Structure 1
Amino acid sequence: MTAQPQPDGPAAGPWDGAVDAQLLDVVRRSILAQAGPVTDLKVAAAVRESGRLLGAAGSLVAMERITAELNGLGPLQGLVKDPEVTDIFVNAPNSVWQDRGAGPERVAVRFSSESELRALAVRLVASGGRRLDEGSPCVDVKTASGYRIHAVLPPISATGTLLSIRIKRRTVLTLAQMVAAGSVGPGFAEILEAVIARRLNFLISGATGAGKTTLLSALLGLCPPRERLVLIEDAAELEPEHPHVVTMEARHENTEGAGAVDLAELVRQALRMNPGRLIVGECRGREVRELLMALNTGHCGGGGTIHANSARDVPARLAALGALAFMSPEAVFLQGASALDVVIHLTRIKGRRIVAEIAVVELHSGRLEVVTALSLASSGPGREHDDPDGADLVAGPGWPPLAERLGLDRIFGLPPGMGDSGKPRGTQP
């Protein structure tokens, strides 16, 4: 690996002069010949036994590089040190990108060859208990260190090995912190607190990387301590600040094609665990049928996240997922209308993850509709606001039923951005 500083990304680090391919190979062979996990002590001993005179600083650099090579993200390890980095994308040995919240930006990290990149992808997938080879060329897995790894091999990928890494940060934001960071407006925050307090069923919608999981964790942290939260996830990412959390994670099939436990089965099992709130981290398949049925049978205050371009696109998304469970659109709409109360939509505005809309779920003429209750004045398509912090809340036709469900006038008063008449700005008389 070599690292050439570029204007659009940080340098890869001071590794080139201290560690060469020969030293890496010698130490790798020494480490792999020993039983047990790779530790700093083993790496240090192997570096000393190599006979290379690196000096104190060089030895430390060598240890860091070799440990990353054998037990971490290899050439990508330095990017993880930036606490703002949430995703790393490798499109080719000489095309590495990172996302720090404002979209992908190219960085100056390079792999020496396609074989080095492929070896890293295979090792990372293996550390999560899966295999990446010609028989399984597309794999998604979570490692013990908390990384979400997705890898694709040729010929599925036309350009070589593709590697996507989602970095799980241990810091869990509270709703108050999200307000302070500008991700949630004060008026929205009061509504969201009321949604949790009144035990409304909800879905958080948005595109990949919009902040759905972060917001869901923050909302679950508002639940009363006496409630038992049962979380169902494909890969455990939710870590709400709550004293009573039970997490169940889906299991993929083994190399023989057996042993899989999907989200739909986990939802059915969760119903036998007396959940105070049932949460599906991401509705992405036929588990939507089990979730809608659960929320229709007295399990209030539950929900999850769903990928959708906008809040009004959620019914179509639910219908598509319901088809995977052999549900007709009519059945999905009827179940969804009685199971769901609120849709909370997130988007990116000027590179920032923002709660842009809260809507209610209603059934009109046999069709499920998501009706805007409150939205940012600038959240419409093509109307991005230069300053999301200064955007007013604008009411839509869904505001009266939402206010009624929340009992907002009796409990919380009026959120910021509301008029003195008791109606949000923009409400028709």
Structure 2
Amino acid sequence: MTDGSRNEALISGLIDEAARAFPQVNAANLAVDRLALQDFCQQLLKSQKALDEGTRGLIVDQVCDELLGFGPIQSLMQDPGVSDILINGWDKILYEKAGRLHPFAGTFLGPEHLRAFVFRHVARAERSVNRSRPWVDVELSDGSRMHVIADPVALGGPFVSIRRFPERPFSLEDLESFGAITPQQRQWLEAAVDRRLNMIIAGAPGSGKTTLLGALLARAPGHERIVLVEDVSELKVNHPHCIKLQTRNIAHGDSEQATIRKLVRETLRMRPDRLVVGEVRGEEVFDMIAAMSIGLSGSLSTLHAGSVTGALHRLETLYASATSGQSGVDPARALRDAVNAIVYLERDAEGRRRVADIHMLGEA
């Protein structure tokens, strides 16, 4: 066995022992927990006479990063320029930086190490992933969003996709400086928020919809009450009166599930000035359109679509599905009456994200 293999086996064993000894490690008490973990690992390593002090310190740091942080991808999670991390296997990690994917030199110790990493972070979010439900979205301790898809549908998995977010939300001025919007588009978007237009932010995955949504909300007057509904919390909002609701699967008796649609309905009892739905993709579109139609102006949402036309078609399809069986329903008219504009984003071949089109509906 090589020195590298011995160290990997040693690290794996230390991680297992430390996890058993510190089952309730808490990111909120990071400094205290790290000191205790370091001392615990140093005591266990005293018997490893062949290890020099430098190697011993590296091993201790790896174990602490594993249990208190993000293990082999710790450096990526600390890099503010990294927007996405894709784990396609224990030894196949990619990351996106400046719109481009790059291979990462680091790896997990093996398939079991990757699975343990996944299960630990899913459990910390009080969620689960198993053979009967092999996919899950969770919020990580730093606010990043992690999507996992596992056996039996992920052949050779689990596969992990982590979307990271900036420490502070970008403003419309920031987006203009990045080239994501033109000066004319910034002025139009500022006026749209001021005039309380209802807008849908559409685009492909990774096109910058959530970033633009956060910038628009930062423009809203500070005295307004914003109620935000999300499936997984990912939108960082720079606004003094924004409250967040998040879906939840409730597995106790006959309790009603906290779905997006249920939460959108609940917001109407919460005196919102603006309703924000992180993403519409189901029958909740009916309740959101209804809220816009009854005077809840200035409301916003995002939608996955490949074009403005595709966004309109998808909204109409979702609305028709939500009102199936009701007579006299005209989805196209309902959308025109409620939604003032669709803002469409795209990402070009160089990875740059930008507003490609602003399409007006009805009167605004």
Aligned residues: 351
Structure 1: gaps (5+ residues):
3-15, 363-400, 406-429
2:30 match: none
1:46 to 24, 40, 44: 40
1:26 match: 14
1:7 match: none
1:315 match: 312
Higher percent of residues as helix: 2
Distance apart, 1:68 and its partner CA: 2.3
What secondary structure, in the 3-state scheme, does the structure 1 residue paired with 2:222 have? coil
1:361 match: 361
Report the Cα distance in structure 2 between the residues aligned to 1:55 and 1:221, rounded to whole angstroms. Answer: 52
1:351 match: 351
Distance apart, 1:49 and its partner CA: 0.5
Question: Do the aligned residues in 2 keep the contact of 1:251 with 1:259 (CA within 8 Å)?
Answer: no
Question: Do the aligned residues in 2 keep the contact of 1:27 with 1:47 (CA within 8 Å)?
Answer: no
Report the Cα distance in structure 2 between the residues aligned to 1:149 and 1:159, rounded to whole angstroms. Answer: 18
What secondary structure, in the 3-state scheme, does the structure 2 residue paired with 1:261 have? coil
What letter is aligned with 2:35?
A: L
What letter is aligned with 1:225?
A: G
2:151 to 154, 157, 169: 154
Report the Cα distance in structure 1 between the residues aligned to 2:214 and 2:191, rounded to whole angstroms. Answer: 16
Distance apart, 1:240 and its partner CA: 2.0
Structure 1 length-normalised TM: 0.76
**What is the 5 A alignment of 1:212-291?**
212-254=209-251, 260-291=257-288
1:301-322 Cα deviation digits (max 9, x unpaired): 1121111101121121112322
Distance apart, 1:226 and its partner CA: 1.3
What letter is aligned with 2:242?
A: V
Report the Cα distance in structure 2 between the residues aligned to 1:46 and 1:37, rounded to whole angstroms. Answer: 13
Report the Cα distance in structure 2 between the residues aligned to 1:112 and 1:257, rounded to whole angstroms. Answer: 43
What secondary structure, in the 3-state scheme, does the structure 1 residue paired with 2:145 have? strand
Distance apart, 1:56 and its partner CA: 5.8
Distance apart, 1:125 and its partner CA: 1.4
Alpha-carbon RMSD: 2.6
Structure 2 length-normalised TM: 0.88
Q: 1:323 to 1:154 in 2, by over 3 A?
A: farther
Distance apart, 1:18 and its partner CA: 11
**What is the 5 A alignment of 1:12-411?**
20-26=8-14, 28-34=16-22, 36-37=24-25, 39-50=33-44, 51=46, 52=48, 57-254=54-251, 260-327=257-324, 330-349=329-348, 350-362=350-362, 405=364
Distance apart, 1:359 and its partner CA: 0.7
Question: Do the aligned residues in 2 keep the contact of 1:18 with 1:58 (CA within 8 Å)?
Answer: no
Question: Do the aligned residues in 1 keep the contact of 2:171 with 2:215 (CA within 8 Å)?
Answer: yes
What secondary structure, in the 3-state scheme, does the structure 2 residue paired with 1:173 have? coil
Distance apart, 1:108 and its partner CA: 1.9
Distance apart, 1:59 and its partner CA: 4.7
Distance apart, 1:60 and its partner CA: 4.4
Report the Cα distance in structure 2 between the residues aligned to 1:356 and 1:151, rounded to whole angstroms. Answer: 31
1:150-205 Cα deviation digits (max 9, x unpaired): 11122201233211111233221111111111111111000001101111110100
Q: 1:298 to 1:44 in 2, by over 3 A?
A: same
Give the number of the structure with larger relative contact order, counting CA–CA contacts within 8 Å between residues 6 or more apart. Answer: 2
Which protein shows a greater Rg? 1
Distance apart, 1:29 and its partner CA: 0.8
1:332-377 Cα deviation digits (max 9, x unpaired): 2221110000111111122111111111124xxxxxxxxxxxxxxx
Of all paired residues, the percent bearing the same amino acid is 32
Stretch deviating more after TM superposition (279-288 or 317-326) = 317-326
Question: Do the aligned residues in 1 keep the contact of 2:38 with 2:64 (CA within 8 Å)?
Answer: no
Stretch deviating more after TM superposition (151-160 or 81-90) = 151-160
Question: Do the aligned residues in 2 keep the contact of 1:174 with 1:218 (CA within 8 Å)?
Answer: yes
Question: Do the aligned residues in 2 keep the contact of 1:210 with 1:353 (CA within 8 Å)?
Answer: yes
Report the Cα distance in structure 1 between the residues aligned to 2:218 and 2:249, rounded to whole angstroms. Answer: 29
Question: Do the aligned residues in 2 keep the contact of 1:347 with 1:356 (CA within 8 Å)?
Answer: yes
Report the Cα distance in structure 1 between the residues aligned to 2:357 and 2:280, rounded to whole angstroms. Answer: 19
Distance apart, 1:236 and its partner CA: 1.7
Report the Cα distance in structure 1 between the residues aligned to 2:253 and 2:16, rounded to whole angstroms. Answer: 31
What letter is aligned with 1:71?
A: L
Report the Cα distance in structure 2 between the residues aligned to 1:59 and 1:176, rounded to whole angstroms. Answer: 48
Stretch deviating more after TM superposition (33-42 or 203-212) = 33-42
1:371 match: none
Structure 2: gaps (5+ residues):
27-32
